[in-house]
Chains A and B, each alone.
Chain A
Amino acid sequence: MDTQNDFVSLAEQYMDMVFRIAFHDLGSASDADDVTQEVFLRLLRAAPRFDGEAHAKHWLIRVTLNECRRLRLSPWRRRVAPLPEPADAGEVPEQKELLQAVMTLPRKYRAPLYLHYYEGYSTDEVAKLLGCSPGAIRTQLARGRQQLKNILQEDWSDV
């Protein structure tokens, strides 16, 4: 990232991605906003040299995941654990319901789900990003899908 224009370009292109990863990891929009600010602050300060778009995106994802972990481990956050916040999933009830169901999954299933199904990374690539084996990622995706299926069926049966 050599110029300030590069920073603006990366911020415009990846700000929502950073926010969405943080939201999936932390389950809180306000925490995800904090992490998003911190990630781009770090980008501005570090001004790393990227070999291309994929490298920049990879760097941002890694720093985002680290920032999320940092926030999760913070004693301050533990003391003031926020109440669950509803996801801003627009006005379509089915989408809101689906996103809320995703957020009820165990945290370890949510980031793989996002990186695989939204960002389009292969399971091998997700494994590298998250520091897990590809087999573990495939297991997490399968269990996440199964739990989602159960949750959504329960919701329908409640109606």
Chain B
Amino acid sequence: MFDPNAYREAVSRLHASPETRRKIMNMQMTRRRGRGPLSAAAAAAILVLAMTTAAFAAFHPGIQEWFAQKWRSVTGQAIGETQAAAIHGLTQEVGESITVGDITVTLDSVTVGDHAVWALLRVNGLSSEDGAAYTFGDFTMEVDPAPKWTGAAGEEGWTIEEGVLTVLASCSACSASDVEGARFNDGSHTLHLTLTDLSVGKAPGCELLQAGTWEFSVPLTQAGASPAVTIDRVQLDGCTLTGIRVTATDVSYTADQETPPAAVKLSDGTVIESKTNCMRVEDGYHYTLVWPVPLDMEKVASLCFDGAEVPLS
């Protein structure tokens, strides 16, 4: 006989581990200091988009406009021509559309780096007023072959204007650059995007607008111009870093102990902190940090580690 009270009593004794509790509360503390949280969770990426308020000023922005706006919000400066050109070099125009019922989803373009990929999508056929809330049942963003460790995934931002919803989403890997096949832009990877069941309204009272699945598969091409700075070994105060590789989109390195996430300093003194940090522990602490906007590598001057600075010239 199943006894619900006994079951509830048994389940009430299940708790997240103290280590998990500490890490989650550290996410809060980390964010307060202005750095992104660390995650060692594994695997591919699924996210649920819940879009409730307008967030972007431009009308049907392209991927360059998204990055330009993000750069302004991070640095207070306009994006430069050479940086825009670098982003252009990392970006593939796709323009593939899939229609299910009245809803057409278009994969506009993707920007791909060593360990990060951004995808710009447009959703047409919405009849609701601007500012309405839309939710996809699932929004899966995966790279095939899957990296051994996948970092964060999520929407970067979105806007809805005159019935066209535009979403910038991204995902990242947490792989050492020296692992064969670890880089998204090595010409051997394919990006798979799957969106299902578009609803309008806020959960739990949302209404299914269009049932169905929109699936995209895009081979990620080798970036035309993706310079990298590499450093074999650096000794910091009480910590050794090896295999440092800095690119326009991210930095990866291995440390012999847990370290604060790196930021990058530009030649004009601007410090850029990563938007996502990923750490995995496997014969050392392997970090992959993704910049909020692809950088102009000509202007990257140094890496900063909580007071210590490593020149990248």
Q: Which residues of A contact B (CB under 8 A)?
A: 4, 7-8, 11, 15-16, 18-20, 23, 29, 32-38, 40-42, 44-46, 48-49, 51, 54-55, 58-59, 62-63, 66-67, 69-71, 73-77, 87-90, 92, 94-96, 98-99, 102, 113-114, 117-118, 125, 128-129, 131, 145, 148-149, 152
Is the contact region of chain A dominated by helix, strand, or loop, or is it mixed?
helix
Query: Which B residues are CB-close (under 8 A) to A125?
Result: 204
Say how far B221's CB is from chain A's closest CB, in angstroms.
23
Bound form: Cα–Cα A86–B23 in Å: 23
Asked if B53 is an interface residue, CB under 8 A from chain A, the answer is yes
Q: Which residues of B contact A (CB under 8 A)?
A: 1-4, 6-11, 13-17, 19-21, 23-25, 27-28, 31-32, 37, 39-48, 50, 52-53, 137-138, 140, 146, 148-150, 152, 154-155, 202-204, 276
CB closest chain-A residue, reference B42: A76
Q: Check B10 against A89 for contact (C-beta < 8 Å).
A: yes
Query: Which A residues are CB-close (under 8 A) to B47?
Result: 42, 66
Listed A/B pairs (17) with beta-carbon separation below 8 Å:
A7-B27, A16-B14, A37-B24, A49-B53, A55-B202, A59-B203, A70-B46, A75-B146, A76-B42, A76-B148, A88-B14, A90-B13, A95-B9, A118-B7, A125-B204, A128-B204, A149-B2
Bound form: Cα–Cα A35–B53 in Å: 28
Bound form: Cα–Cα A56–B29 in Å: 21
Q: A7-B27, A15-B21 are in contact. List 17 more A-B contacts (CB 8 A).
A: A16-B16, A32-B16, A33-B16, A33-B19, A36-B16, A40-B24, A41-B152, A42-B47, A46-B155, A70-B140, A74-B42, A74-B43, A75-B146, A88-B13, A99-B10, A102-B7, A129-B204
Task: Check A41/B37 contact, CB under 8 A, given A11-B24, A76-B148, A148-B2.
Answer: yes
Select B149's contact among A49, A63, A71, A76, beta carbons within 8 Å: A76
Q: Check A48 against B50 for contact (C-beta < 8 Å).
A: yes
Q: Check B1 against A58 for contact (C-beta < 8 Å).
A: no
Bound form: Cα–Cα A100–B1 in Å: 15
Q: Check B202 against A4 for contact (C-beta < 8 Å).
A: no
CB closest chain-B residue, reference A72: B43
Say how far B289's CB is from chain A's closest CB, in angstroms.
14
Say how far A101's CB is from chain B's closest CB, in angstroms.
9
Say how far B38's CB is from chain A's closest CB, in angstroms.
9
CB closest chain-A residue, reference B153: A42
CB closest chain-B residue, reference A69: B46
Say how far B23's CB is from chain A's closest CB, in angstroms.
6
Task: Check A118/B27 contact, CB under 8 A, given A15-B16, A19-B15, A46-B154.
Answer: no
Query: Which A residues are CB-close (under 8 A) to B23?
Result: 37
Q: Check A54 against B37 for contact (C-beta < 8 Å).
A: no
Query: Which A residues are CB-close (under 8 A) to B9?
Result: 92, 95
Say how far B28's CB is from chain A's closest CB, in angstroms.
6
Q: Check B28 against A4 for contact (C-beta < 8 Å).
A: yes
CB closest chain-B residue, reference A23: B14
Bound form: Cα–Cα A90–B14 in Å: 8
Bound form: Cα–Cα A125–B203 in Å: 12
Select A71's contact among B43, B137, B140, beta carbons within 8 Å: B43
Bound form: Cα–Cα A146–B32 in Å: 50
Bound form: Cα–Cα A69–B45 in Å: 10
Query: Which B residues are CB-close (under 8 A) to A46?
Result: 50, 154-155
Query: Which B residues are CB-close (under 8 A) to A98?
Result: 3, 6-7, 10
